[in-house]
Amino acid sequence: MCGLPNMHVEVPCDFNETRVASEYLLFQVKGPKYVRFAREATPIVTTEETPWEFGKANVIRYRGEQDKFADAFETRLAYEYHNENEDLSIIACGPSVPEAMRAAYILKEEFGVETRVVNLHTIKPIDRDAIVNAALDTGIVVTAEEHQVGGMGNLIAAVVGQAKELYGRPTIMGMIGVKDRFGESGAPWELVKEFEVSAEHIAAKAKELHDFAKKEAKAASSAD
């Protein structure tokens, strides 16, 4: 869909984002539009007060355990967010956003790793600045999507690869998605594990890249 000229593409993460995105595209956007959302029930991780702008990503930060999972996170528009020196970034869309949030929880509570979760709900036009800033600030970017690996991931890689701000600044990338397989039937919670797109898989990939970056930095420091 992103390859079609003038197309507007939204991938909301839950019920609330689906409602606000659909209303905006229907009444505010002229031209072809496409909304992609999950068939099955999806965890609700936003509220009616959660900030949302077409074409602008959100940054989600884990702030500590709460009785309700969604309350443990703070969400801001990416262009209003100030760098908190996180260790890495996870950029996700659609149903992978709650999984990325769970991954951020795992990384913090089990490994002490701070994560910037970027909810890239608008895929076209893509929020270049949110992607570049995530790469520039953290140096590690993991993309998370619940379909064939490389869809959103390749778009993000293209942004990173062409960003002049990142020339000479190493950025490590990893992608989580379905690995060149046909779909299967099953409960959603079973399929996210079967296709290795769950929070645990996202966290494992992020931790792997984080450890690699630390090892490389240590080796470079020793060489100096």
Residues 168-191: tens digit of each pLDDT: 998 999 999 988 888 888 777 788
66-77 pLDDT, tens digit each? 999 999 999 999
CA dihedral of residues 133, 117, 46, 108 (deg, nearest 10): -140
CA 47 – CA 61 distance, rounded (Å): 15
Domains of the chain in start order, with CATH, are: 56-119+127-223 (3.40.50.920)
Query: Are 107 and 101 within 8 A, CB to CB?
Result: no
- Its pTM stands at 0.94
- For residue 124, the one-letter residue type is K
> In angstroms, what CA-CA distances link 130 with 58, 120, 133, 172, 221?
8, 9, 5, 16, 30
- The pLDDT value given to residue 224: 66
